């Protein structure tokens, strides 16, 4: 058994001062105040001093890091990505595809399914974040709002193509981004949501009616709000009017100050509130690396001064989730416990995993991050191990 103490703990819903957290077999067994019970005999004692203990961060939209793309076949790719993520407080992540020829996507899904199943069998791996599902970003995207997704590989939504991807991923699809205005989208949204996939509206030129039709069909999330979406108009609000106002939708945002201006991030947070806003990185292989040329799927991205571009179009980010949390504290003047919730409990709810991840409570995975009051990562613990 491992006994962990710190100055403060955010569950993140509740606050505990001078907590005592007991962990066994990678699972939280007890949470109490340090003064309320003695340390268990023979327990390994970890004192985090003045640190603030929070759940491990969860990134539900990430294409790569540490020089690697999650779709590549190199066996060192995912371990290197996972090591870098853990250093930035991420304990679980959803590797995200980018639109590619269908056969390439199917091969990548098979490899990602292998990684997810292997991580499930081996249990907690100290120092490495764990893949917990797959995010399909493409191929069911709008040509008008495709961003850098290659137009030749975009496909109209079809049950047949979704079934091929579902089978290749062996049912490990957790999220799927889709443009709801496309012919066939509603049928795919209904099928995917019936299978437990969180269907997310994005890369879309939908008007308001088409966006609401997507929600009625089963969509319940939105992908990188404001980016790759029809612009908001006060007389013709389009998809953004739905994303910001629809209470059935959670929504994520890239809070790097590049993709979305800080003032619009404030508007987003006011619209979605503490319970329905999610932080993502949309990070690519350049994350954690010097400026230069990097891969996103099959194409090359130029990275300079924190901007990732292909032919002048933004192509992902080099944002890390701990930086996103600190940016929310700065941009919106939110306290640490509220900013942390957007990277822990809320993404866990999107994945229907809020009982076992993104929370510190009995029965949940002991995936934890020790932070400074400013939100800097001091230590990441996976299964209770640093």
Catalytic residues: 282
Please name the residue ranges forming H helices in 49-170: 77-87, 102-122, 159-168
Could you identify the residue written with the tokens 């907590």?
19
3-state secondary structure (DSSP) of residue 318:
coil
Burial (CB < 10 A; 0-12, 13-18, 19+), residue 222, is buried
Estimate to the nearest angstrom the gap between the alpha carbon of 238 and the chain centroid: 25
C-alpha to C-alpha distance for 115 and 197, rounded to whole angstroms:
19
As given in the structure block, the two tokens for residue 265 are 């991030």
- Please, are residues 214 and 186 in contact by the beta-carbon 8 Å criterion? yes
Question: Quick one: which of 104, 93, 86, 5 has its CA closest to 49?
Answer: 5
Q: Which residues of 170-185 are buried (b: 16+ CB within 10 A; e: fewer)?
A: eebbbbbbbbbbbebb
250 neighbors 346 (Cβ within 8 angstroms): yes
Could you tell me how far CA 89 lies from the centroid of its own chain? 12
Contacts of 18 (CB under 8 A, 6+ apart): 5, 7, 8, 33, 34, 35
Q: 177 and 137 in contact (C-beta within 8 Å)?
A: yes
Kind plus residue range of the DSSP H or E element containing 276:
helix 262-276
What is the Cβ-side half-sphere exposure of residue 147, based on CA atoms within 13 angstroms?
28
Which residues face 96 on adjacent strands? 135
Helices (H) and strands (E) in the chain, counts: 10, 24
């Amino acid at each position: 058994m491992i006994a962990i103490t710190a100055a403060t703990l955010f569950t993140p819903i509740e606050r505990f001062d001078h907590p005592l957290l007991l962990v066994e077999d990678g699972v939280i067994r007890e949470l109490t105040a340090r003064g309320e019970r003695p340390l268990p005999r023979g327990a390994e004692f970890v004192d985090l001093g003045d640190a603030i203990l929070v759940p491990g961060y969860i990134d539900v939209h990430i294409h790569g890091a540490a020089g690697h793309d999650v779709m590549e076949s190199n066996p060192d790719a995912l371990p290197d990505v996972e090591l870098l993520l853990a250093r930035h407080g991420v304990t679980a992540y959803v590797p995200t595809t980018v639109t590619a020829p269908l056969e390439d996507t199917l091969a990548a899904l098979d490899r990602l399914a292998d990684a997810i199943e292997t991580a499930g069998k081996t249990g907690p791996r100290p120092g490495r974040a764990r893949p917990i599902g797959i995010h399909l970003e493409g191929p069911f995207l709008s040509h008008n709002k495709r961003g850098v997704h290659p137009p030749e590989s975009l496909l109209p939504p079809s049950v047949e193509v979704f079934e091929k991807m579902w089978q290749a991923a062996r049912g490990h699809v957790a999220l799927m981004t889709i443009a709801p205005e496309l012919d066939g989208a509603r049928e795919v949204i209904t099928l995917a949501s019936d299978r437990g996939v969180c269907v997310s509206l994005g890369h879309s030129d939908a008007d308001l009616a088409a966006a609401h039709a997507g929600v009625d069909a089963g969509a319940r999330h939105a992908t990188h709000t404001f980016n790759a979406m029809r612009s908001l108009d006060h007389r013709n609000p389009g998809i953004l009017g739905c994303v910001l106002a629809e209470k059935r939708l959670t929504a994520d945002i890239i809070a790097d100050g590049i993709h979305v201006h800080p003032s619009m991030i404030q508007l987003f947070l006011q619209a979605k509130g503490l319970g329905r806003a999610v932080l993502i990185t949309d990070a690519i292989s350049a994350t954690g690396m010097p400026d230069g040329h990097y891969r996103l799927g099959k194409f090359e991205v130029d990275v300079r001064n924190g901007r990732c571009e292909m032919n002048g179009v933004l192509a992902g980010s080099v944002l890390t989730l701990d930086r996103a949390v600190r940016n929310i504290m700065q941009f919106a003047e939110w306290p640490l416990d509220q900013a942390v919730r957007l990277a822990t409990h809320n993404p866990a709810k999107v994945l229907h995993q809020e009982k076992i991840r993104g929370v510190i409570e009995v029965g949940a995975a002991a995936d934890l991050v020790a932070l400074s009051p400013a939100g800097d990562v001091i230590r990441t613990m996976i299964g209770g191990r640093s």
